[in-house]
Structure 1
Amino acid sequence: MPHFWAVDGRAARGRPRPPGHPQQPVGAPLLRDHGGRPGPAPRPPHPQPARPLNSTDDSLPCPPAPEDGGYTLRLHPSPGDVDARDWDALLAAQPHPTPFMRHAYLSALDASGSAVPETGWTPVFCTLWRGGALVAACAVYAKPHSYGEYVFDHAWAQAYARHGVAYYPKAVVAVPFTPVPGARLLAVDAGARAALVRALVQWCTEAGLSSLHLLFAAPEDLEAARAAGLMLRQTVQFHWRNAAPATGRPFGSFDDFLATLSQDKRKKIRQERRRVADAGVAFRWARGADIAPQDWDFFYRCYERTYWEHGNPPYLSRDFFHRMEQAMPEAWLLFIAERGGQPIASSLIAIHAKNTATCPPDDPETVAYGRYWGALERVDCLHFEACYYQPLQWCIAHGVGRFEGGAQGEHKMARALMPVATASAHWLAHPGFAEAVDRFLEREGEGVEGYLDALRAHSPFKAAGGDAAG
């Protein structure tokens, strides 16, 4: 896959039904797609024009600003219309911030032409006000397709189409092309967060949008969504923690990490790393301002090639990464594979630290996120080295507490990335489809729980008192 990184599902029971609509039961078959399985469909050529959201232009129909208990929702057609300092101050106050919700990141997606109406992402940034004070905000996009989301609802859209009901446009509260869990509803307190969810549902209803989807949200966001009647859906990702299972202490070295694995996993990793070294490949690391412009250019060649090899143009433009180089250099770390003094592959990870200017050593709250990789030459096991072993080695050397490798691929468990549950929340305006999806998510959720249990039963770590390191 182009990204470092599925199984989805889990619904909250007893979801309140929207009033004022007759029940129109729709059977479970409506949630089947190719092969009877829920999942992604092939991506069409990209970029593509977004279907107009009304008959006159590509702007989103804006109903009167919803008011709720002294709260007022304001809609902004661009992240540039929201004060960056106010936005980032809200983000910094959240329990689960990530660099991908920073104003600079979202603005770069817009200004670079990566997430814009022409590619099917019409931005509607929402701010919630109480009196003259900003108390909540979120990034919303109206969409005529479901690509670049990583929570797959293509089967739902196909079911709507079979019944002659429009699924698009829909609204997503998300970071485009970024399946990283974290804060989505930026709020000063739980009351403002709850009011923001209610205002979003009201706005979607009045704007004629079929649905609202809150993707890869933080626990506090999911709780507010559940309380407002949204359905919860669980997904599975794979994350590595810099903590020895027996002691909970950070690893002192990559060899210390290997010593905690079962013998077969330890042996396999050493063999894979040896193949890359024997092929004459060496790595260099560059972070922040140390990433030279030519390194960014080379990375983009790799990134672009990976997408084209999968039959799709890249989601992100070169200009997006240029803007990251200028606005958020400290958030990026590049691993460059070289052979004979020439670069042949690269991988890019993002970093979130309390101190955004540096990545302090021995800070367990610092998180690294695997993002993109690509290679101009094929070398056996180079993908594993670039995307897992080099980042893990760097995390251990710098005391980073967690590396998030994303979804898709049980092979990550062999590298000690363990399964974790992430979740999204969904509201459907059509009561019949909402009821059918609720039933579907309950069944799907049971399958996801079973999948998680099965994965956890096959830990790569050696049992207490198990085989000796070797």
Structure 2
Amino acid sequence: MPLQRLDSLSAITAQEWDALVPVEQPFLRHAFLSSLEDSACLGPHSGWQPEHLLHYENGRLQAALPSYRKWHSYGEYVFDHEWAQACERAGIEYYPKLLTAIPFSPVSGPRLLAASAQDGLELLAALPGYLEIEGLSSAHINFTDTLADTALAQQPGWMQRLGCQFHWQNREYRDFQDFLDALSSRKRKQMRKEREQVAGQGFEFEWLEGQQVTEAQWDFVYACYANTYVVRRQTPYLTRAFFSLLAERMPESIRVVLARQGSTPVAMAFSLIGGDSLYGRYWGCLAEFDRLHFETCFYQGMGYAIAQGIKRFDAGAQGEHKLIRGFEPVITHSWHYLRHQGLKSAVSDFLQRERVGVLAYAEEARSALPYRQA
């Protein structure tokens, strides 16, 4: 099956692309991905070169893989640095590789966009040939959903990898106190004390939707976001222009909470909303305050989800500190196709052993949850 390569989403209309995107997935929308491209977050300079693979039939787009040619493994959150280092020691070229993922966002969801299951399978079947023609070492599809898992399991040569994140589930709580009542006494007191410590410092919080955020406020949001990288002596993945473009193109999906001490904003958390889920993406502050991170990034999002009837709060990757705040372990999936047979054999053995460890870790993590035993 012939695959067409798209180097920029500007070459396709939002209507045509979004026709394949589930309505509850903001990260796959043309508006989100094109904002990353048009604001210079992506491109050869960043090591993320857009290389979306499309299949047309009778002039109609039938399937797509939102993909990127990568010259490194940063910003992916499914870490294969050790695979690349092993290749370097063995004299094997690991880069460039092909990555199907949402740049800089470890969010699970659809990756194989298709008008029908058969269209998706046909695109996947053509992918190994594309890798060989283009001289790409491998293909990686990160943070897949159940439909993609099913399709990839039917394709020869693909290996599944497991990971673990922590998500908060809204079990139809009436308010935040109703959630606290579901916790053990000790954990409930600890969480209440954390919130009281933040309130005692004079903080107030304001939630804004995308169309309500001014350009001056976007300046503040970006300054906070960039500061989280500056303190680690790193360069931010996102540019200031990205936030304005996204606010212009999909404001209805944006949620920003500002933390103010008196009249002065000092911290923020940026989220997207889609379907029944709230996705906490970026946070930052301009000064350090005790417990402010937990309130801004977690408790505010949980409270917002309760008030809005949102079922799930995905606050980002990693973070065992989320467990004692009620975020439950969730297994994530990614899939990997390696052309070099020796590397494939070694990675396959590693993934089998890693899988046992990930499942055991998730099970053990449940013992740290703060909920009362039934």
TM over 0.5: yes
- Give 1:457 deviation, angstroms: 2.8
- Give 1:283 deviation, angstroms: 0.9
Instruction: Show CA shifts across 1:241-265 (max 9, x none).
Output: 110xxxxxx0000000000011121
| 1:306 paired to 2:228 | yes
Q: Distance in 2 between matches of 1:433 and 1:303?
A: 38
C-alpha RMSD of matched pairs (Å): 1.1
Q: Please report the TM-score for the alignment, with normalisation by the length of structure 2.
A: 0.98
| 1:435 paired to 2:345 | yes
SS in 2 for 1:180: coil
> Aligned AA for 1:439?
D
Aligned to 2:22: 92
- Give 1:295 deviation, angstroms: 1.6
Q: Distance in 2 between matches of 1:300 and 1:133?
A: 39
What stretches of structure 1 of length at least 5 have no aligned partner? Answer: 1-66, 244-249, 354-365, 465-470
| 1:123 paired to 2:76 | no
Q: Distance in 1 between matches of 2:75 and 2:371?
A: 34
Instruction: Show CA shifts across 1:85-135 (max 9, x none).
Output: 011011037xxx520110011111111110111111111111112333321
* Higher alpha-carbon deviation: 81-90 or 232-241: 81-90
Match for residue 415 of structure 1 among 322, 325, 329: 325
Match for residue 316 of structure 2 among 406, 413, 434: 406
Aligned to 2:216: 294
Matches for 1:189-228 after TM superposition, within 5 Å: 189-228=116-155
C-alpha contact (below 8 Å) 2:271/2:280 kept by paired residues: yes
Q: Distance in 2 between matches of 1:384 and 1:458?
A: 17
Matches for 1:2-41 after TM superposition, within 5 Å: none
C-alpha contact (below 8 Å) 1:351/1:368 kept by paired residues: yes
C-alpha contact (below 8 Å) 2:203/2:259 kept by paired residues: yes
- Give 1:82 deviation, angstroms: 2.0
C-alpha contact (below 8 Å) 1:241/1:402 kept by paired residues: yes
Q: Distance in 1 between matches of 2:371 and 2:273?
A: 26
- Give 1:288 deviation, angstroms: 2.1
Instruction: Show CA shifts across 1:234-287 (max 9, x none).
Output: 1111111110xxxxxx00000000000111211111111011111111111111
Q: Please report the TM-score for the alignment, with normalisation by the length of structure 1.
A: 0.78
Match for residue 278 of structure 2 among 362, 368, 371: 368
Matches for 1:99-114 after TM superposition, within 5 Å: 99-114=26-41
Q: Distance in 1 between matches of 2:233 and 2:186?
A: 35
Greater helix share, 1 or 2?
2
C-alpha contact (below 8 Å) 1:157/1:167 kept by paired residues: yes
Aligned to 1:348: 270
Equivalent residue pairs, number? 373
Q: Distance in 2 between matches of 1:336 and 1:162?
A: 47
Q: Distance in 1 between matches of 2:174 and 2:210?
A: 25
Q: Which has the larger radius of gyration?
A: 1
| 1:74 paired to 2:4 | yes
- Give 1:302 deviation, angstroms: 0.4
* Higher alpha-carbon deviation: 315-324 or 292-301: 292-301
Instruction: Show CA shifts across 1:18-76 (max 9, x none).
Output: xxxxxxxxxxxxxxxxxxxxxxxxxxxxxxxxxxxxxxxxxxxxxxxxx2xxxx31111
C-alpha contact (below 8 Å) 2:143/2:332 kept by paired residues: yes
C-alpha contact (below 8 Å) 1:126/1:139 kept by paired residues: yes
Aligned to 2:115: 188
C-alpha contact (below 8 Å) 1:226/1:425 kept by paired residues: no
Aligned to 2:290: 380
Match for residue 142 of structure 1 among 45, 69, 77: 69
Q: Distance in 2 between matches of 1:181 and 1:372?
A: 17
Which structure's relative contact order is higher, taking Cα pairs within 8 Å and 6+ residues apart?
A: 1
SS in 2 for 1:369: strand
- Give 1:459 deviation, angstroms: 2.6
C-alpha contact (below 8 Å) 2:204/2:262 kept by paired residues: no
- Give 1:165 deviation, angstroms: 0.6
Greater strand share, 1 or 2?
2
Q: Distance in 1 between matches of 2:146 and 2:352?
A: 19
Q: Distance in 2 between matches of 1:216 and 1:453?
A: 20
- Give 1:456 deviation, angstroms: 1.8
Q: Distance in 1 between matches of 2:237 and 2:256?
A: 19
> Aligned AA for 2:121?
A
